[in-house]
Amino acid sequence: MWHLLPRQLETLWTLFTAPVVWALHFLICYVGAAIFCEKPGFLGTDFDNLRVAIAVVTALALAMIVMSAMLAWRQWGFGTDDPPHDDPTRRDRTLFQGYATLLLSGLSFVAVIFTALPALFVTECLR
Amino acid sequence: MQSALDPAGEEASQVATLFWVMTIGGLVIWALVVLLSLYASRWKREPISEQAAARLIPWAGGVLPVTVLTALLAYALWLMPSLRPFADPDRAGLRVEVVGSQFWWHVAYRRPDGTSVISANEIRLPVGERVEFSLTSADMIHSFWIPALGGKMDLIPGRTNRLSLLATKAGTYRGQCAEFCGISHAHMAFPAIAMEPADFEAWLAARSRPSEGLGANQAGRGLFERERCGSCHRVDGTQAQSTAGPDLSHVGSRLTIGAGLLENDVEALERFIVHPASLKHGSRMPAYTHLSADELARIAAWLKGLQ
């Protein structure tokens, strides 16, 4: 299935993909909940709609983070080399970036779940 | 004194349980970290193998903290909705309105039949019945907190916050303003008395009528009127009807005066009337130093008689 993924990207931007998804997911959840609870005429009044929307956004965010993690894993050489990858070579730079991206993806994955967790338990907003 | 760890209400006992779960959880993690560092620095005294490190770091540094934090977070979030329960809007029950002011509490009991009982600086509620509070402020942000019964809720000018409490044990607890509101913030307290439902109903019924003590100590009542105390205070059954200051309709039966400041007796009433700001800095009630000792004693006796 690896041929389905884009070719390896020689850019630092892949490093930030997962944290950016985390940040956007955080904003969508919090801003969405704030608008939903403050403006009942705008997005409706059924709180379950908001919870479903957060579930969908969370699934999308997790999928994007998993995608980022898979790319990072490939860039890291599927774990064939051990860290710290600190030689001044192009190969070590690539491996280091892949490893750092993989770790950031793991952190972002957990953070997105923590951000969405309240919607699992909180069933109403009080007006 | 008040304590959130000695709960007498449903919400407070959940808060106390949450506190103990988090404290014990934190202590266990702390002990494990200390033991691990002692093991590494005192007993082992040599580096572990790379394979062991490669196992230890992801499991002890990644999987374990994530699992523990997820469990604690999920427990706290699961508890959250029940910490802020709200009475069924279709089921009309007792509602208590509280308005915070520097540095006292206006209290109005709104009964389901539409009648109201006005009081101040003391909260009474029936054991075993959920009571809904409507909280707002007349000047700045205060916070209404009875640690033994539940969490705190802010009183915000121009906004009405709701809080619902269920007392499970009869007793007298202390409530306290929990948001700094000025120089006498610490002295903005009140007794909260959880009573058996029948006693509470009898108490409320008695408070819905003017005090039987109105007729006694007439000289004191005359002085109360001469000094125009009714410009700020309300006494049910008299012409004093202002709500600028605390309601005094049954002030003699309250446990404290000055919003939890002094035990309620004639001597304390005299001390408070003669110079309120010396006992309670920032109090807007003027001093009555021009009154003679005899006049003070008469007013205090009349007020103490308003049972």
ipTM, two decimals: 0.81
| Cα B294 → chain centroid | 36
Can you give the pLDDT at residue A10? 63
Q: Among 3.40.50.620, 2.60.40.420, 3.30.160.110, 3.90.1150.10, what is the CATH number of B212-304?
A: 2.60.40.420
Q: What is the DSSP letter of B61?
A: I
Q: What is the pTM of this model?
A: 0.80
Handedness of CA B132, B2, B123, B102 (dihedral sign): negative
The answer to which of A1-10, A104-113, B218-227 has the lowest mean pLDDT is A1-10
Among B77, B161, B162, pick the best mutation site for testing chain A contact (most A Cβ within 10 A): B77
As given in the structure block, the two tokens for residue A8 are 């390896």
Can you give the pLDDT at residue B88? 61
Q: What is the largest CA-CA distance in chain B?
A: 92
B173-207 pLDDT per residue, tens: 999 999 999 999 999 999 999 999 999 999 999 99
Interface of B with A in 128-167 (CB under 8 A): 162
Can you give the pLDDT at residue A3? 62
Q: In terms of pLDDT, which residue wins out, B220 or A79?
A: B220
Q: CB of B81 within 8 Å of any CB in chain A?
A: yes
A114, A121, A126 member nearest B80 (Cβ):
A121
Task: State which residues of chain B have pLDDT below 50.
Answer: none
Task: Determine the 3-state secondary structure of B293 from DSSP.
Answer: helix
Q: Tell me which chain A residues have a C-beta less than 8 angstroms from the C-beta of B62.
A: 106
Q: Radius of gyration over alpha carbons of chain B, in Å? A: 26
Backbone angles phi, psi at B132, to 5 degrees: -100, 130
pLDDT band at A65 (very low <50, low <70, confident <90, very high): very high
Q: Tell me which chain B residues have a C-beta less than 8 angstroms from the C-beta of A103.
A: none
| Nearest chain A alpha carbon to B58 | A103
Can you give the pLDDT at residue A12? 77
Can you give the pLDDT at residue A80? 81
Residue A127: pLDDT above 70? no
Domain at B1-46+84-208: CATH code:
2.60.40.420
Question: How is B120-141 classified by DSSP, letter by letter?
Answer: ES-EEEETTSEEEEEEEESSS-
Tell if the CB–CB gap between B86 and A122 is shorter than 8 Å: no
The answer to whether domain B1-46+84-208 and domain B212-304 are alike in fold is yes
For residue B17, give how far its alpha carbon lies from the nearest alpha carbon of chain A (Å): 18
User: Which range of residues forms the domain containing residue A31?
Assistant: 21-121
CB B143 within 8 A of CB B178: yes
| CA atoms of B7 and B192, how far apart (whole Å) | 13
Count of domains forming chain A: 1
Domains of chain B by residue range: 1-46+84-208, 212-304
Q: Is beta strand B161-166 parallel, antiparallel or unpaired with respect to B130-137?
A: antiparallel
Can you give the pLDDT at residue A82? 78
Count of CB atoms situated within 10 Å of the CB of A106 = 17
Q: CB of B61 within 8 Å of any CB in chain A?
A: no
Q: CB of B89 within 8 Å of any CB in chain A?
A: no
Can you give the pLDDT at residue B191? 95
Can you give the pLDDT at residue A4? 61
| Cα B6 → chain centroid | 15
Q: Radius of gyration over alpha carbons of chain A, in Å? A: 18
